[in-house]
Chain A
Amino acid sequence: MSFPWAKQYTPSHPAMVWLDERLPLPRLIYGAVGAGYEVPRNLNYFWNFGFMAGLCLVIQIVTGIVLAMHFAPNSAIAFDSTEHIMRDVNWGWLMRYGHSNGAALFFAVIYLHIFRGFYYGSYKAPREMIWLLGVVIFLLMMATAFMGYVLPWGQMSYWAAQVITGFFTAFPLIGDGLKEWLLGGFAPDNATLNRFFSLHFLLPFVILGVVILHIWSLHIPGSSNPTGVEVKSKADTVPFHPYYTAKDGWTVGLFMVIYGLFVFYMPNSMGHPDNYIPANPMQTPAHIVPEWYFWPFYAILRSFTQPLLFIPGKLMGVLAMFAAILVWFIMPWLDRSPVRSAKFRPLYRKFFWALVVDVLVLGYCGVSPPEQPYILLAQLATIYYFAHFFIIVPLVSSIERPEPLPFSITEAVLGHDGQAALAAKG
């Protein structure tokens, strides 16, 4: 569906007419990210992260395919082949640093994209499907990033594989068997490395497929916007091209500057030094931490130190960590407020910012050693995290009195008089 005033693709060149009749791919692109897609005129810069995330996925796939040409997925030589890439392969260091820092920036962009959704209520009807597919993409990204981290077969790679598959041993009865099945052995080894390589290669293309569905479902209702008021007339929208291609375009340039600063000037700042030590099953690093984008979830996992009734603390931690993400799936049904944007929701807005601070605190606890006072801090922050999603969001939407909404996007942009003038003209 698109708005009735959206421009139609009308090829003029005979070759394009010929193509359009046989394979309307240019028509598809025109309607998806071209002049045929009408977008609210009032999007702010938080709406740029979707485009940027798509770019990150392309960067990861391109650099990843290059790395796979030189990498050897065998536990005996994986570490050395990574160093071979860094030292001997032409521009190999650029591909590797580009891939590892690209992954981290991909997560940075995705987190901003997700929190944009939380603030502006992007998950609400009729956009639930976009949101659900988005959470699926995030879960796939986490799995892909984890398996990619294992590939260089350094100390952190090895122990990440050991610890993460160890989560599954928390489940009663099937746990131990499940872990052995995941690893293809009793501990991470060649079988693990090989399957992780295979899946790490496959999953990005699965992500690409889900991204296409994500964009497809976006084009049914069209983009949301900072007011949360639906598009009412032609004056509310502008065509994606050239308006948002230009806006996304220049921020891509800015992204490339930041990406370049990381890749060329601090390529190891987001990595852990221990991963430059070859994997050693006989010695655990003094302090195991995941990459920064998993720190908040790692803090949640470690907060459950005591059994509850008959449930062991370890299982509670694993369940909580999964629940912390899975609860996002039901956000559209937990939040019943008819108002989308937190701009007009005074109470929810306060809790949103509390959540932002809370997640940052969780991240800080996740990278700190598991000792006091960080344990206490992590536990308090985890309590708020669960209270926020499971209790506060459903309750606030019932008791809150939203502020008055603008009549339309155009009114929000031009003010009431401008809107009237435009109406008189049109």
Chain B
Amino acid sequence: MIRIFSILAGLFFIVGLLWSTAVDTLAFATDGLPTSPEKEFHIEHPKALSLKSDGPFGKFDKEQLQRGFGVYREVCAQCHSLKQVAYRDLAALGYSENAIKAIAAKTTINAKDPLSGEMKDRPGLPADHFPPVVYGGKGVPPDLSLITKAREGGAPYVYSLLTGYAAQPAKLANNPETKTPDGLHYNPYFANLNIAMVPPLAADGLVTYSDGTVATKDQMAKDVSAFLVWTAEPKLEARHQTGFMWVGLMLFVTVLSFLAYRNVWSGTKH
């Protein structure tokens, strides 16, 4: 009885599916595979970017992070916030306590005064997070704290996007429907090809590096991508190191317990 019922129920779903399949496949046969400018011109695989933090033994390159922080402060911070990061976190980049205090003090923080309970402006302290950024232009600049984890492709994607601005291919530019609208900028690494962000690293030397590195566009893009790996995953080094010890310990335990297992079962066929 239950089996007859089940076969009937199965046939019901299968008939429904066959109907859906027939309709969809007919449309597929007439329309062919879906096409769009994005499918044709979007570059899914970002450019290669090799950072010292890559791989299972990766560690941050503090000098590069400091350079990247410089790029963020001089260029990105005009529009993009970094609110998950606190000034005190900058100690991980090799800044001294006093240097961090000075960096924090340059910003104005609107915070509740603990005694009066009113919101007041005061200079930033190391314990404060980076403040929100007021932006009045076109588009919505995302917060950058987690950007390398929040985008498919991670840091290489950020690097590719920053260096990927290009002239629109003639095929798109000549068609009024696909031509990049005014105020947007063509970038094949961006998923829908036209991005509101003005090319941020448009010229060499926007930042002066204190360690003497030449601030080419490419160098700045690499450095800020490295910095944004750190902002998204500040515990990366601890994670890699703990992992090495844990996996090592577990391999040791596994081998020992495998031998113990063999002992227990020796002489018992199974």
A and B touching (C-beta < 8 Å)?
yes
User: Within 8 Å of chain A (Cβ to Cβ): is B25?
Assistant: yes
Whether the pair A376, B243 counts as a contact (CB closer than 8 A) is: no
Whether the pair B150, A276 counts as a contact (CB closer than 8 A) is: yes
Whether the pair B247, A260 counts as a contact (CB closer than 8 A) is: yes
A256 to B24, CA, bound (A): 45
Interface of A (DSSP majority class): helix
Contacts of B94 in A (CB 8 A): none
**Stretch of B112-120, B180-188, B249-257 with 4 or more beta carbons under 8 angstroms from chain A:** B249-257
Count A/B pairs, Cβ under 8 Å: 178
How many chain B residues touch A (CB < 8 A): the figure is 60
Within 8 A of A (CB), among B211-270: 232, 234-235, 238-240, 242-244, 246-247, 250-251, 253-254, 257-258, 260-261, 263-265, 268-270
User: Within 8 Å of chain B (Cβ to Cβ): is A21?
Assistant: no
Q: A273-B149, A372-B34, A413-B269 are in contact. Are A390 and B7 (CB under 8 A)?
A: yes
Q: A253-B257, A260-B246, A260-B247 are in contact. Are A243 and B17 (CB under 8 A)?
A: no
User: Within 8 Å of chain B (Cβ to Cβ): is A242?
Assistant: yes
Whether the pair B253, A253 counts as a contact (CB closer than 8 A) is: yes
User: Within 8 Å of chain B (Cβ to Cβ): is A103?
Assistant: no
Whether the pair B150, A264 counts as a contact (CB closer than 8 A) is: no
CB closest residue in chain B, given A275: B150
User: Within 8 Å of chain B (Cβ to Cβ): is A263?
Assistant: yes
User: Within 8 Å of chain B (Cβ to Cβ): is A417?
Assistant: no
Whether the pair A41, B20 counts as a contact (CB closer than 8 A) is: no
A83 to B240, CA, bound (A): 19
Whether the pair A264, B151 counts as a contact (CB closer than 8 A) is: no
How many chain A residues touch B (CB < 8 A): the figure is 70
Whether the pair B149, A257 counts as a contact (CB closer than 8 A) is: no
Q: Mark A256-293, 1 if CB is under 8 A from B, else 0.
A: 11001101110110000110111000000010000000
User: Within 8 Å of chain B (Cβ to Cβ): is A334?
Assistant: yes
Q: A264-B246, A376-B28 are in contact. Are A304 and B17 (CB under 8 A)?
A: yes
Within 8 A of A (CB), among B129-159: 142-143, 145-146, 149-152
Contacts of B31 in A (CB 8 A): 372
User: Within 8 Å of chain B (Cβ to Cβ): is A192?
Assistant: no
Q: A238-B268, A308-B19 are in contact. Are A372 and B7 (CB under 8 A)?
A: no
User: Within 8 Å of chain B (Cβ to Cβ): is A373?
Assistant: yes
Whether the pair B10, A389 counts as a contact (CB closer than 8 A) is: yes
CB closest residue in chain B, given A316: B16
Whether the pair A320, B265 counts as a contact (CB closer than 8 A) is: no
Q: A250-B254, A253-B257, A273-B149 are in contact. Are A305 and B23 (CB under 8 A)?
A: yes
**The 4 residue pairs across chains A and B that have the minimum distance between CB atoms:** A390-B10, A264-B243, A253-B254, A276-B150
Can you name 29 A-B pairs with beta carbons within 8 Å? A43-B270, A87-B234, A87-B235, A97-B239, A243-B264, A246-B263, A249-B260, A252-B257, A253-B254, A256-B250, A260-B246, A264-B244, A273-B152, A274-B150, A276-B149, A305-B20, A306-B20, A306-B23, A319-B13, A333-B2, A334-B3, A334-B6, A379-B17, A379-B20, A382-B17, A383-B14, A383-B18, A386-B13, A391-B11
Give the interface of B toward A (CB within 8 A): 2-3, 6-7, 9-11, 13-21, 23-25, 28, 31, 33-34, 56, 84, 89, 142-143, 145-146, 149-152, 191, 232, 234-235, 238-240, 242-244, 246-247, 250-251, 253-254, 257-258, 260-261, 263-265, 268-270
Give the interface of A toward B (CB within 8 A): 41-43, 80, 83, 86-87, 93-94, 97, 238, 242-243, 246-247, 249-250, 252-254, 256-257, 260-261, 263-265, 267-268, 273-274, 276-278, 286, 303-306, 308, 311, 313, 316, 319-320, 323, 327, 330, 333-334, 336, 371-373, 375-376, 379-380, 382-383, 386-387, 389-391, 394-395, 413-414, 418
